[in-house]
Structure 1
Amino acid sequence: MSQKVLVAGTGISGISAAKLLLAQGGEVVLYDGNEKLSEEKLKAKFDEGAKVTIVLGELKKTDLMGVELCVISPGIPLEAPFVAVIDEAKIPIWSEIELAYHCSKGKLAAITGTNGKTTTTALTGEIMRKFYKSVFVVGNIGDPYTAHALETTDESVTVAEVSSFQLETIMDFHPNVSAITNITPDHLDRHKTMECYIQVKEGITRNQTEEDTCVLNYEDPVLREFGKTLKCKVLYFSSKEKLDEGIFMDGDFIVYRHDGKNEKVLDVNELNIIGRHNHENVMTAVAIAIHLGVPMDMIREACREFKAVEHRIEYVRERFGVTYYNDSKGTNPDAAIQAIKAMPGPTLLIAGGYDKHSEYDEWIESFDGKVRYLVLIGQTRDKIAECAKKHGITDIMYVEDMQEAVQVCASYANAGDYVLLSPACASWGMFKNFEERGRIFKECVNAL
């Protein structure tokens, strides 16, 4: 990687990719369309004398002199005007996970899907740490893959949470085990059509061979059919059907059926995470671990010890008999459906946020009489309120910020109720990201 590379994007992903390229002896042109950024501050992120040229604002052909490759950050859409300049110059575009893959060693498990991938990735990482000495958990879950690529060895296992944005520009990316948790409508503001979104997600298997494995959700009809087309091994999991081969629920037990016999994995009542969707996440992680050679007793132990991921149906506190849960990572209707289903009793639901062009009917239908009050914030509150009224829900309140939302819920909740932040929308506009939204929610709850 000793060539001259354009790195597009100056966020965590872009800076990490640039540092990896420099460590490999490369030269970097660091580009961002925001001309108001400080060149001095960007330079300060690198060692003195690093071969980094900063380009801000409009990208010109002359900026690409000698550039052989572009690494694009996942937050940048391929319709961005500067991408046309790169295409015209016939410079290949890689995602940052493609770059990391080329620079890393050892085994790779890659997890994608609309929902559940963060919990699945975190649990898979914990299972791997029971058996392997060198484990890296990377991607959307936290650290960029590029930040740890050079630390990996032939004995390492890397567990990567991979988004559709990252999969748009892969070429040779090749996991030993891949998993697609589910596919439901999301990010249609970027991918435009459901067909395109599905195609991008399924691209995680593009370079897998007969030696590799793909774990798929049998209950997702798109994925069930997709599995029939793959040349790699396919292992299905199901929360509803007893499979002839694969992992499934039998009452409260997760069962692994293989070689004509059933092997009990564990009783879901032993888990610290709630909801059927979380049982599916556990099944996915178990399937990945089996195919990476982790003994079943270690898999069981890790699953029993695992706690909920922050911001994903995360228990916050109980106050005056009211229990508060933070599901800020419920950034689309399908994720929010899983959260409301997981609530054991009457719920006051805080929802709303940035509009990703989602439809809310199925989510609101899933309330099934459980939601006592719908407390709405953000850009989508009118759209959600209109949809809710169409489905006969009238106990709706508008609030201006998270503090007011929490205070309203605390005032109206009865002992035995649940207060759930599960917005069904992205956080942008009111918050930097879903992490900030969840953190502020927890601060407001703990200040009651």
Structure 2
Amino acid sequence: MDLKGKKVLVFGSGISGEAAAGLLFCNGADVVLYDGNEKLDAGRIKDEILQEGRSKAPEETHGTVSVVLGDFPEALLGELDLTVMSPGVPTDLPIVEKMKAKDIPVWGEIELAYACGKGDVLAITGTNGKTTTTSLLGQIMKNYKESVFVVGNIGNPYTSVVQDTEEDSVIVAEMSSFQLETVHRFRPRVSAILNITPDHLNRHHTMEAYIAAKERIAENQMADDFCVLNYEDEVLREFGEKVGAQVLYFSSRRKLNRGVYLDGKTIICHFDEPVPVCDTDELQILGTHNYENAMAAVAMAYAYGVPINVIRETLKCFAGVEHRIEFVAEKNGVAYYNDSKGTNPDAAIRGIQAMNRPTVLIGGGYDKESSYDEWIRAFGGKVKKLVLIGATREKIAETARRLGFNDIVMADSFEEAFERCVEYAQPGDAVLLSPACASWGMFKNYEERGDKFKQLVEQL
């Protein structure tokens, strides 16, 4: 794509915004990075973009970079050729609507990276399991090919690696609904939607809009592409009838004529004929939800042409991802588990299901307008005490009491919540951080929250 001399607005800073600005700068665009937070350090942001860009592309290809903070300068609208939205910035802001009304193209960071990059994209979305599946598939592909990049919502912006991609590269990408809102021509060679349950309704407003955003991962795929879907998800089973790509299902509950399924304890890959991949007893990741993540990765890799022996050996060695039902330590007979990535009720249900001891649970955080009924019902006698923090604590407590669960403790800080857990947990119990809420308001992200939990455990 020829960006040279184009005036491009990057809306929102942070890791994605700065990476997008750097890619545009490398390709000759005149970049304006805008952020409404006037307290940011504009000089630092610009210097980092310039330094990164100069290290990745020759000077003759460079454009220019400026940084604008605070109130949006609406006079800029008459100069723009393109706007690139950072994932955290809502696309229905009044100023963005004005851009659309002026026919200024509004892209996301993913669309920009795809337009400028090379190689095949294997893209994964879903409410839960994205990071585990992306990490596993990334490892499979790295054991198969040399030029592999694992990017996206997993913490490494797609735009940050574009300058390093080649025609034979493979990009394994974790896609959020925020990122998929702004795709136009993005076309993965293999896509996957793992599951869909309510999440981010504060951003998407309706479940229908959230589902539509997820399904956009496959909207440009064609008959020689593949789309991997969870057969046990009713929304996705229906969606599979409309997809332009070849649909491959995975299932943890039934045998499939074509796809990947769990037969007892054995993962079977059935394309032309059923081929055993491995037994779940051979995996280092636990729980049905992780077996589903593994099956999705198997289906994607096999559809792309990876030999089954490479898939099998990678599966056996994969140890999971940080902050997802991560065993931290056992202290004084109590097992501590970090599931900070359980940022919505459905993900947190999976954390509870993985526990095999009486559990003291830390819940609560930022309110994404979720319903907590199913999460509370999943306690099923496992949760002996619920310690609540954050903006959602009263809402969750009210739900719990309505459903007959009354062993609730309120805490004013994360540290206090941890202290209460240590106080209530007995030898043979587990303490589980699986909040069912985002971390915002108390932490900058779920990683920081999980790291704090692990630090507190190690200090015991």
Q: TM-score, normalised by structure 2?
A: 0.95
Moved over 4 A (4+): none
* Equivalences for residues 272-351 of structure 1 within 5 A: 272-351=284-363
- Contact 2:125–2:194 (8 Å) recurs in 1: yes
Select 1:100's aligned residue among 96, 113, 117.
113
Aligned-residue offset at 1:415:
2.1
1:6 matched residue in structure 2: 9
Does residue 427 (structure 1) correspond to residue 439 (structure 2)? The answer is yes
- Structure 2 Cα separation of the partners of residues 409 and 270 of structure 1: 33
Given the alignment of the two structures, is residue 256 of structure 1 paired with residue 259 of structure 2, yes or no?
no
Q: Give the Cα separation in 2 of the matches to 1:184 and 1:131.
A: 33
Q: Contact 1:59–1:85 (CA<8 Å) still a contact in 2?
A: no
2:388 aligned partner: 376
Match of 2:100 among 83, 87, 90: 87
The residue identity in structure 2 corresponding to 1:164 is S
Q: What code does the residue aligned with 2:121 have?
A: L
Which deviates more from structure 2 when the two are superposed, residues 167-176 or residues 314-323? 314-323
DSSP 3-state at the match of 1:46: helix
For residues 150 and 49 of structure 2, the distance between their equivalents in structure 1, rounded to whole angstroms, comes to 24
Question: 2:285 & 2:109 partners in 1: Cα distance?
Answer: 32
Q: How many residues align?
A: 447
Please say if residues 183 and 198 of structure 1, whose CA atoms lie closer than 8 Å, have aligned partners that are also in contact.
yes
SS at match of 2:34: strand
* 1:232 pairs with one of 236, 239, 245: 245
Instruction: Name 1:444's counterpart in structure 2.
Output: 456
Residue correspondence of structure 1 range 381-396 to structure 2 within 5 A: 381-396=393-408
Unpaired runs of at least 5, structure 1: none
Asked if structure 1 preserves the Cα contact closer than 8 Å seen for 2:219 and 2:244, the reply is: no
Indicate yes or no: 2:49 matched with 1:46. Answer: yes
Equivalent of 2:373, from 361, 365, 371? 361
Deviations along 1:17-71, one digit per CA (max 9) or x if unpaired, are 0110111111101111223333322222233896112222232332234321000
Structure 1 residues 236-245 or 51-60, which shifts more?
51-60
The answer to whether the Cα contact below 8 Å between 1:216 and 1:227 also exists between their aligned partners in 2 is: yes
Tell me the residue number matched to 1:206: 219
CA distance in 2, matches of 1:146, 1:361: 39
The answer to whether the Cα contact below 8 Å between 2:333 and 2:427 also exists between their aligned partners in 1 is yes
> Which residue identity does 1:446 align to in structure 2?
E
CA contact (8 A) 1:213 1:233 kept: yes
Indicate if the aligned counterparts of 1:173 and 1:207 stay in contact, CA closer than 8 A: yes
Secondary structure of 2:143's match?
helix
Q: How far apart are 1:411 and its partner, in Å?
A: 2.1
CA distance in 1, matches of 2:383, 2:63: 56
Residues 233-264 of structure 1, C-alpha deviations (whole Å, 9 max, x = no match): 000001111112211111111111222x3211
Q: Which amino acid aligns with 1:442?
A: K
Q: Following the alignment from structure 1 to structure 2, what is the Cα–Cα distance between the partners of residues 407 and 34?
A: 35
Taking the aligned partners of 1:105 and 1:293, their CA distance within structure 2 comes to 19
The two structures, once aligned, show a CA RMSD in angstroms of: 1.3
Residues in 1 aligned to 2:269 and 2:304: alpha-carbon distance in whole angstroms: 15
Give the equivalent residue in structure 1 for 2:54.
Answer: none
Matched, 1:181 2:221: no
Q: Which amino acid aligns with 2:354?
A: A
Which one of 149, 164, 168 corresponds to residue 177 of structure 2? Answer: 164
| Structure 2 unaligned residues grouped into runs of 5+ | 52-61
CA contact (8 A) 2:228 2:249 kept: yes
Cα distance in 1 between the residues matched to 2:155 and 2:92: 26
2:32 equivalent to 1:29: yes
Give the superposition deviation at 1:293.
1.1
1:190 is the counterpart of 2:203: yes
Does residue 414 (structure 1) correspond to residue 426 (structure 2)? The answer is yes
Give the corresponding residue for 1:146: 159
Counterpart-to-counterpart distance in 1, 2:190 and 2:50: 36
TM (norm. structure 1) is 0.97
**Partner residue in 1 for 2:128:** 115
Q: CA deviation at 1:413?
A: 1.5
What is the percent sequence identity of the aligned residues? 57
Structure-1 residue corresponding to 2:55: none
